């Protein structure tokens, strides 16, 4: 007597098992004939093994997670720069990157984005390049050269027509944005632009040159470079510099598949859950790149403690550790004296629930076997 596919599916549906296990059972069992006894045997064994694999209550998962991430840190390289994926773009990797993630820095030392394109743009090199030019922040140096004429006390900008063509920008547009940014008059003289500082002084002239060099004429500010790479079937854009909110709005960019390595930016644009996932992904990638295997569960716990409050908090004195409930735990971490003085003024009460506090007062900690409140009856 064999069961119908629906019976099996219903039975599996009722199980309290993680998604991936259920899915595996479904796909494995869909193609075979099996009896009720067999199904029951499988189900009970899978359930038993799953139960066996569960964490035990009172387990100090925090410490285990911290150690599992900290210990491989000793084996990581310090080499800050390396090329990940694309040879043209430098990315911070290894221990410095891991520290950066855990520090919840506002801006990472090498912000980059991986931009994937929508269906129609992704397979066409020219369209992809168009998006790239549109995103890349264009400065005058990309379009031509800047020269100073000390006799006339003015700045001459020679524009290269082919570069302008490539980046789809006209002389008028350049002149307009220069006018807007500097507030100075811009004269057009056959393909070149001429500007002069308000006061004809040598210093102002040089300052003006520096200033107009930095002006972003087109594209997203902060994105210094865009590199196109073909991966598999589709073209992917890698950028130096990051601006998720603006890039996501570009025509041709697939917002759901575009990411940045700036965790705080993700938190601001997409919300805290996205930031949590970003922490997990970034940390996992960093560790994997170094050839170190760390279970996701440990990284998840770190990501969760960093984001429980709804904002990305640093692991350390200005974040998680600095906001602990216990005065003694905070004092034992960093800035000892200030914590004690503040606690005195506030009249804080330390409930002695954490690890450090109990070690300090010399009693068993309330974790693991220390958390079992069983006393033998005499």
Partner 1 sequence: MTVPKRIGKIRFGLISPQEFRKMSVVKIITADTYDDDGFPIEMGLMDPRLGVIDPGLRCRSCGGRPGECPGHFGHIDLIAPVIHVGFAKLIRKLLRAICRDCSKLMLLEKDKKMYLEQIKTLERLGQPTDDLVNKVFSEARKNKTCPHCGAPQKEIKFERPLSYIEDGHKLTPSDIRDRFEKIPDDDIAVMGMNPDTARPEWMILTVLPVPPVTMRPSITLESGQRSEDDLTHKLVDIIRINQRFQENREAGAPQLIIEDLWELLQYHVTTFLDNTVSGVPPARHRSGRPLKTLSQRLKGKEGRFRGSLSGKRVNFSARTVISPDPNLSINEVGVPMDIAMELSVPMVASARNKEVVKTFVARGPDRHPGVNYVTRADGRRVKVTDKNAEEVAGQIDIGWRIDRQLADGDIVLFNRQPSLHRMSIMAHRVKVMPYKTFRLNPSVCPPYNADFDGDEMNLHVPQTEEARAEAEILMRVQENILSPRFGGPIIGGIHDYVTGSFLLTHGEKPIYHKDMMEIVKKLQPSELPEPRGYLDEKPYWTGKQVFSMILPRGLNLNFKADFCYNCDVCRGAECEHDAYVIIEDGELVRGTIDAEAVGAFKGKITDRIIKQFSPSVASEFLDRMTLLALRGIMYAGFSFGIDDEDIPREAAEQIAETTRAAREKVQQLIAAYNAGELEPLPGRTLDETLEMRIMQTLGKARDSTGKIAGRYLGLDNSGVVMAVSGARGSMLNLTQMAACVGQQSVRGERIKRGYAGRTLPHFRRGDLGAEAHGFVESSYKHGLTPTEFFFHAIGGREGLVDTAIRTSQSGYLQRRLVNALQDLEVKYDGTVKETRGMIVQFQYGEDGVDASRRDYASVDNVKRIIKNVLAKEEQI
- Does residue 92 touch partner 1 according to CB under 8 A? no
Distance, CA of 295 to CA of 293 (rounded, Å): 7
Structure tokens at 4: 């119908």
For the chain, how far is it from start to end, CA to CA, in angstroms?
58
Interaction residues for partner 1, span 221-250 (CB under 8 A): 225, 227
Interaction residues for partner 1, span 27-86 (CB under 8 A): 28-29, 32, 34-35, 38, 41-42, 45-46, 49-50, 52-74, 76-79, 81-82
| Residue 62 vs 255, nearer CB to partner 1 | 62
- Does residue 347 touch partner 1 according to CB under 8 A? yes
- Does residue 167 touch partner 1 according to CB under 8 A? no
Residue among 229, 222, 219 at smallest CA distance from 88? 229
**Residue selected from 181, 204, 311, 348 as contacting partner 1 according to rule CB under 8 A:** 348
- Does residue 297 touch partner 1 according to CB under 8 A? yes
| Residue 26 vs 246, nearer CB to partner 1 | 26
Exposed/middle/buried for 201, CB within 10 Å: 0-12, 13-18, 19+? exposed
- Does residue 305 touch partner 1 according to CB under 8 A? yes
Residue among 290, 284, 302 at smallest CA distance from 65? 302
Interface mask (CB under 8 A) for partner 1, residues 353-372, using x and -? xxxxx-xxx-x--xxxx-x-
Q: Tell which phi-psi region holds residue 365, choosing left (phi > 0), alpha (psi between -120 and 50) or beta.
A: beta
| Residue 105 vs 211, nearer CB to partner 1 | 105
Q: How far is the CB of 35 from partner 1 (least distance, A)?
A: 7
Residue 236, strand partner residues:
116, 229
Structure tokens at 103: 């520090």
Distance, CA of 145 to CA of 213 (rounded, Å): 10
Cα distances (angstroms) measured from residue 109 to each of 191, 278, 281: 38, 16, 18
| Piece in contact with partner 1 (CB under 8 A), picked from 160-168, 174-182, 203-211, 329-337 | 329-337
**Residue selected from 21, 153, 156, 209 as contacting partner 1 according to rule CB under 8 A:** 21
Cα distances (angstroms) measured from residue 181 to each of 185, 216, 339: 11, 9, 48
- Does residue 255 touch partner 1 according to CB under 8 A? no
- Does residue 24 touch partner 1 according to CB under 8 A? yes
Q: How far is the CB of 252 from partner 1 (least distance, A)?
A: 20
Cα distances (angstroms) measured from residue 353 to each of 217, 326, 331: 58, 8, 15
| Residue 72 vs 255, nearer CB to partner 1 | 72
Interaction residues for partner 1, span 99-158 (CB under 8 A): 99, 102
- Does residue 296 touch partner 1 according to CB under 8 A? yes
- Does residue 15 touch partner 1 according to CB under 8 A? no
User: Which residue's entry shows tokens 């998962």?
Assistant: 61
- Does residue 331 touch partner 1 according to CB under 8 A? yes
Query: How many binding residues for partner 1 (CB under 8 A)?
Result: 114
Residue among 266, 177, 160, 179 at smallest CA distance from 219? 177
- Does residue 302 touch partner 1 according to CB under 8 A? yes
| Residue 147 vs 349, nearer CB to partner 1 | 349
Buried b (16+ CB within 10 A) or exposed e, 184-194: eebeeeeeebe
Interface mask (CB under 8 A) for partner 1, residues 169-198, using x and -? ------------------------------
């Amino acid at each position: 007597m064999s069961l119908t596919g629906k019976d099996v599916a219903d039975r599996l549906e009722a199980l309290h098992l993680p998604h991936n296990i259920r899915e595996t059972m479904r796909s494995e069992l869909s193609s075979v004939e099996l009896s009720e006894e067999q199904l029951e045997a499988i189900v009970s064994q899978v359930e038993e093994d799953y139960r066996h694999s569960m964490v035990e209550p009172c387990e100090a998962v925090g410490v285990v997670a911290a150690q599992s991430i900290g210990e491989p840190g000793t084996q990581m390289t310090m080499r800050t720069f390396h090329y990940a994926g694309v040879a043209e773009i430098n990315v911070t990797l290894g221990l410095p990157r891991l520290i950066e993630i855990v520090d919840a820095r506002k801006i990472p030392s090498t912000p980059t984005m991986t931009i994937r394109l929508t269906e129609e743009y992704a397979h066409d090199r020219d369209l992809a390049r168009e998006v790239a030019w549109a995103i890349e922040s264009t400065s005058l140096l990309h379009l031509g050269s800047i020269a100073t004429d000390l006799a006339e006390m003015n700045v001459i900008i020679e524009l290269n027509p082919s570069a302008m063509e490539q980046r789809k920008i006209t002389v008028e547009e350049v002149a307009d944005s220069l006018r807007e940014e500097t507030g100075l008059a811009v004269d057009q003289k056959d393909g070149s632009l001429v500007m002069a500082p308000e006061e004809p002084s040598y210093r102002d002239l040089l300052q003006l040159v520096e200033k107009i060099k930095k002006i972003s004429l087109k594209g997203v500010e902060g994105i210094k470079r865009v590199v196109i790479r073909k991966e598999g079937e589709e073209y992917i854009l890698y950028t130096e510099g990051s601006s998720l909110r603006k890039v996501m709005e570009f025509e041709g960019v697939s917002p759901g598949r575009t990411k940045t390595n700036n965790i705080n930016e993700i938190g601001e644009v997409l919300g805290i859950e996205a930031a949590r996932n970003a922490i997990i992904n970034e940390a996992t990638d960093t560790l994997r790149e170094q050839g170190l295997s760390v279970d996701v569960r440990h990284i998840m716990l770190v990501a969760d403690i960093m984001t429980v409050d709804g904002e990305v908090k640093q692991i350390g004195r200005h974040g998680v550790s600095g906001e602990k409930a216990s005065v003694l735990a905070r004092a034992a971490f960093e800035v000892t004296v200030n914590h004690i003085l503040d606690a005195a003024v506030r009249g804080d009460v330390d409930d002695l629930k954490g690890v450090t506090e109990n070690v300090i007062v010399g009693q068993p900690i309330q974790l693991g076997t220390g958390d079992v409140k069983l006393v033998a009856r005499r």
